[in-house]
A and B are shown apart, each in its own frame.
Chain A
Amino acid sequence: MSAQAITKTRWFPGVLGIGSFIGAVLLIELFIRLGLVNRFIVPLPSDIVWAFPRVIIEEHVFSRFFLTAAEAFSASILVTVFGVAGGVLLHQFRLLREATETWVAAVAAAPLVLIYPLYLVIFGRNAITIVAMGFTAGLAPVTLKTLEGLAGTRRVLINVGRSFNLTPWQQFWKILFPAALPTIFVGMRLGLIFALINIVGVEFLINFGGLGQLINELAERYDLAGTYAAISFVILISICVFFLTERLERWLRPVE
């Protein structure tokens, strides 16, 4: 097999990606061992790998993970309930939509996480602040996506409902809501991701809760290998969540 033929195989890009990542890690290990990179700033990658079991067992990573997951789950439930309800409300009342849609879009674009000191004052340094922050960050995207899904329902479906003399209630539950569900799910996924990002971020910033706090604690102890291991763990978790929700969204999306 020629070199050109190998590069065209289906598996080659994946191998190249993973291979170059491993190569970069080995190169960093070499540079640190040669003294080209200060090991008090960047720990040896092998130390980070060895720190994983220690961090998992001694720092109770799984219980922290479940705490963060519970906070993200609570925020997601709130975001879904209030976001979908908000989207439905804006869809049902056209005047309200015209008056406030740009405001909701502006809120979605605003750096809302910066109000966490305000939530600290209102709710205190506890899980409510973290959940409230996740909820605040995820609400606007879910509302906007719900509205987009409902407004994008095909005219022919609405007309079919009308021809069957459906009541507004039936029209909503039998036609509008099922048609908008894939888009609503996109919004829910966005809301979950926004909530998760903000929850881990606020945990880190206020040094309370699950995985975010773990990173902060290890950094304050100057446990370099542990800090890097904890960061890698959080990255791994967020990649898994992102990947799974993306698969679920694809599965729910109707075939074009």
Chain B
Amino acid sequence: MTLPRAAPRFLQPVTALRIAIIVTVLASWEALAASGLLYRDVVPSLVAIGKALFNLLTVPDMSVQIDMLGINTAFTIPAIYWHLYVTFYEIAFGMVIGCLTGLVVGIALGSSRLLRRAYEPMLYYLGPCPKIIFFPVMIMWFGVGPGSKIAMGAISCFFPVALNVAGGMREIDQVLIRVGRSFRANTWQMVTKIYLPAMRHPIINGVRIGLGVCLIGTLLAETKLSNSGVGFLVMQAYNLFNMPLMYALLIVLFVIAIGANALIGRLGGLDDIKRR
């Protein structure tokens, strides 16, 4: 007996529908671009966007000088990589500061009933506030350079991490905590040997949410006041009315944001939890 052969992947109904939706959207976009119904260039053709994306990623238009071990090297690179680097280190520093403080505060709140009841409501209700409103304060505290953007990222990231860690602490199996105590583990050992391994998933989840909001906080701050970073490039494209470039930048940003989100989820094993 021969088993019926499965249809090729692209002929499966779900895949076919996906392809149909993508083709329809792209065709509608192109038709709208050609029709001129919206203002000229607000909806540029896909070819123009593709060209802008290609130029953005490949055409070297910024000279960089590196002085290493007394050897001065100068070369040109596409400017986007420099701006991505600036945004990346702002986000990285913001994440490190926000995650570490969130972790410490979360562990403190999660391990004490009194502290939780006294301070967690403050974090819980402050968490959903629009963090960008703190940007003027951050400028006054840390200046107009990368410091204020790092601070914005750190503030944005702090709340989801702290709340997730505090929640995760309460979910830890009491048996594990009693085992740690029966071995007379000190606070540091309890944190590193019991709490952190047992809270891996809530921490990763908090970091994942934190990364999303940190990215938003940092980039929005860049769009408001900066002279480098991807947010600055977006505003430059807006000021020059270079719409294909703006679309290209947004594509790059969304790919990075969604990719980073998926990567953290996969590294943290969140997909495994969902499948179980």
Q: Provide the B115-149 mask, 1 if CB < 8 A to any CB of A, else 0.
A: 01111011001101110111111011100000000
Interface centre among B13, B128, B141, B257 (most CB of A within 10 A): B128
Give complex CA distance A243, B238 in Å: 37
Which residues of A14-47 are within 8 A (CB) of B? 14, 16-17, 20-21, 41-42
The reply to whether B122 and A231 form a contact with Cβ atoms under 8 Å apart is no
**Cross-interface CB contact of A110 among B118, B119, B125, B258, cutoff 8 Å:** B258
Number of A-B contacts (CB under 8 A): 132
State which size class the interface on A falls in.
Answer: 35 or more
State in angstroms the CA–CA spacing of A216 and B135 once bound together: 9
Asked whether A234 lies within 8 Å of B14 as measured between CB atoms, the reply is: no
A213 to B116, CA, bound (A): 35
Proximity bits, A96-137, B CB within 8 Å = 1, else 0:
101110000010011101111110111000000000000000
Among residues 210 to 256 in chain A, which have CB atoms less than 8 Å away from a CB atom of chain B? 212, 215-216, 218-219, 224, 227-228, 231, 234-235, 238-239, 242-243
Q: Once the chains are docked, how many angstroms separate the CA of A118 from the CA of B111? A: 46
Digitize B9-51: 1 where CB-to-A-CB distance is under 8 Å, 0 elsewhere. 0000110011001000000000000000011001000000000
Binds B, one of A49-57, A76-84, A156-164, A196-204: A196-204
Q: A118-B250, A121-B243, A228-B137 are in contact. Are A201 and B118 (CB under 8 A)?
A: no
> CB-nearest residue of chain B relative to A17?
B118
**Residue B157 CB within 8 A of the other chain:** no
Contact at B130–A114, with CB atoms within 8 Å? no
A13 close to B (CB within 8 Å): yes
Cα distance A205–B88 when bound, in Å? 22
Partner among B17, B231, B261 whose Cβ is within 8 Å of the Cβ of A95? B17
- The docked-state distance in angstroms from the alpha carbon of A14 to that of B212 is 32
* Inter-chain contact A14/B117, CB cutoff 8 Å: yes
Please indicate the chain B residues that have their CB under 8 angstroms from the CB of A200 in the complex: 130, 132-133
Proximity bits, B99-113, A CB within 8 Å = 1, else 0: 000000000000000
Min CB–CB distance A15 → chain B (angstroms): 8
**A116 CA to B126 CA in the complex, in Å?**
24
Q: Which of B18, B136, B219 is the one whose CB lies under 8 Å from A111?
A: B219
Q: A111-B215, A111-B257, A193-B128 are in contact. Are A96 and B17 (CB under 8 A)?
A: yes
Task: From A41, A116, A122, A197, give the contact of B140 (CB < 8 A).
Answer: A41
Q: Is B238 a contact of A117 with CB atoms below 8 Å?
A: yes
Tell me which of A7, A98, A114, A235 contacts B216 (CB under 8 A).
A114
B204 contacts A by Cβ under 8 Å: no
- Checking A16, A100, A234, A239 against B133 with a beta-carbon cut-off of 8 angstroms, the contacting residue is A234
B238 near A235: Cβ-Cβ < 8 Å:
no
Residues 207-233 of chain B, each 1 if its beta carbon lies under 8 Å from chain A, else 0: 000001001100110011000000100
* Alpha-carbon separation in the docked complex, A197 to B125 (Å): 13
**For chain B, which range describes its interface: under 10, 10 to 19, 20 to 34, or 35 or more residues?**
35 or more
A66 to B122 Cα, complex, angstroms: 25
Residues of A within 8 Å of B212, CB to CB, are 109, 111
- Alpha-carbon distance A96/B20, docked complex (angstroms): 11
**CA–CA, A106 to B18, complex, Å?**
15
Give the contacting residue for A231; candidates B121, B134, B246; CB below 8 A.
B134
Residues of B within 8 A of A120 (CB): 238
Selected A-B contacts with CB under 8 Å, 18 pairs = A17-B117, A17-B119, A20-B119, A42-B141, A96-B17, A100-B18, A111-B212, A117-B223, A118-B238, A120-B238, A205-B224, A215-B136, A218-B136, A231-B133, A234-B133, A238-B130, A242-B125, A243-B125
Known: A13-B114, A121-B42, A212-B130. 12 other contacts (CB 8 A): A14-B118, A17-B121, A41-B140, A99-B14, A99-B18, A111-B257, A118-B247, A215-B133, A227-B136, A228-B137, A234-B129, A235-B133
Which residues of B line the A interface, CB within 8 A?
Answer: 13-14, 17-18, 21, 38-39, 42, 114, 116-119, 121-122, 125-126, 128-130, 132-137, 139-141, 212, 215-216, 219-220, 223-224, 231, 234-235, 237-238, 241, 243, 246-247, 250, 253-254, 257-258, 261
